[in-house]
Structure 1
Amino acid sequence: MASSSQNNFDLNAVPNVQPEIRHSSSLSQKDPLMTNASVMLDDAVAASVARGIITPQDEKLLADRTDVEAINDSMALSIQCASSVSNIARRLQVRGNEVQELRTQVLSLQRRNRGLQQENKELKKLVDAYANDLGKKYSELEMNTNRLREQQESLLLEVQKNFKISRPEA
C-alpha cells in the first residue's frame, strides 16, 4: 500500500463531502459517477479507472501528494484496478464455464428426451396392438359366452322336458 512519512493514507477513510453527480461522455457505465467517489474505496469506480477515468475526488487526493507519493498512490491504484479487472475476468470465466456446462447438460437432456419420445412411440404402438388384440379376444369370448348361454338354456329346457316325460303326473 502507498503510505507517506508525512501523511498516512487510509484506504478505508471516507471523506465527509456531499456527493456531486458528474456525467461524463467518456463513461460507458450505466450509472453516473459520483465526484466524491474513490477508486481506492469502490471496486466499481476502480473498474472505471481501469478504463482511463480518474474521479475528481482522486484528483484532489493526489494533488496534495508529493511526486513520490503520487507515483506510489498511482501504482497502488493501478494494482487495485488490475486486481479488480482480474477478479472480473475470473468471474466471467467461471460464468462462461457454467454456461458451457449447462449447454452440455441441455444437449444431453435433449438427446435423452428424443430417445424417450421414440421409446414412448414404440410403447404406444405396443399398447395399441395389445388393445386391438384384446378387443378381438373379448368379442370372441362374448360370442362364445352367448353361445354357451343359449346351449345351456336349450339343455335346461330339454332336461325339464325329459324330466316331465320320465315322471308321470299323478
Structure 2
Amino acid sequence: MMCLMYNQKSGVHYPYLKKDPLITNGSVMLDDAVAASVAKGIITPQDEKLLANRTDIEAINDSMALSIQCASSVSNMARRLQVRGNEVQELRTQVLNLQRRNRSLQQENKELKKLVDSYANDMEKRYSELEMNTNRLQEQQESLLLEVQKKL
C-alpha cells in the first residue's frame, strides 16, 4: 500500500515523505481517484519544501521507496494482465472446443435426419403394401361371401 497524505483543502492524496509514514485506507491499484491524485501530484510544491528540509540520503531513500512502490505496482499489473491473458486463452480454447462439438453435433443431426427420413419412407412403402393387401383380402372375403350366399 502506498504511503499517502491527504490534503483536506484540495482533496488530493500525495506521497507523504516524513519519517513517520501516514497510510491511507485508499489503494493506488484499487482506487482510480487515489491513483490519479498520486500520478498528478507526485511532487507538489509542498513536497518540494519537505524535500528541501531533508538530507540527501533521506531524499534518495524516499525517492527509491517511491520507485520501488511504482515498480511493484507495474509488476502487479503485469501479473494481472498475464492472468487475464491466460483466462482469455482458456476461453478461446473452450470456444474452439465448443465449435468443434457443435459441428460434430450438426453432422450427427444430419445423419439422424437421413435415417429418420429413410425410416419414414420405408414405413410409408410398407403401409402402402399393407393397405393394398388389406384391400385385396377384403375383396377376397366379399367374393367368398357372395359365393357362399349363392350356394346357400
TM-score (norm 2): 0.73
Letter in 1 for 2:8: N
8 Å CA contact retained: 2:27, 2:35: yes
How far 1:63 sits from its partner (Å)?
A: 2.7
RMSD: 2.9
How many residues are paired up?
A: 136
Match of 2:14 among 38, 55, 58: 38
2:3 match = 11
How far 1:74 sits from its partner (Å)?
A: 1.6
2:148 match = 159
Question: SS of the counterpart of 1:76?
Answer: helix
Matched, 1:99 2:85: no
1:30 match = none
Match of 2:120 among 124, 128, 131: 131
Tell me the percent identity: 68
8 Å CA contact retained: 1:38, 1:55: yes
How far 1:130 sits from its partner (Å)?
A: 1.2
Kindly provide the CA deviation profile for residues 10-60 of structure 1, in whole angstroms up to 9, marking residues without a partner as x: 9354221234xxxxxxxxxxxxxxxx24357652565897xxx56166452
How far 1:116 sits from its partner (Å)?
A: 1.5
Bigger RCO (CA 8 Å, 6+ sep)? 1
How far 1:71 sits from its partner (Å)?
A: 2.1
- Runs of 4+ off more than 4 Å: 39-42, 44-49, 56-59
How far 1:62 sits from its partner (Å)?
A: 4.6
CA distance in structure 2 between the aligned counterparts of 1:85 and 1:47, rounded to whole angstroms = 15
Unmatched 5+ stretches in structure 1: 2-9, 20-35, 166-170
How far 1:64 sits from its partner (Å)?
A: 1.1
CA distance in structure 1 between the aligned counterparts of 2:46 and 2:85, rounded to whole angstroms = 39
Greater helix percent: which structure?
A: 2
Match of 2:68 among 73, 79, 82: 79
1:63 match = 49
TM-score (norm 1): 0.66
Larger radius of gyration: 1
Q: Residues 100, 38 of structure 1: CA spacing in aligned structure 2 closer, same or farther, 3 A cutoff?
A: same
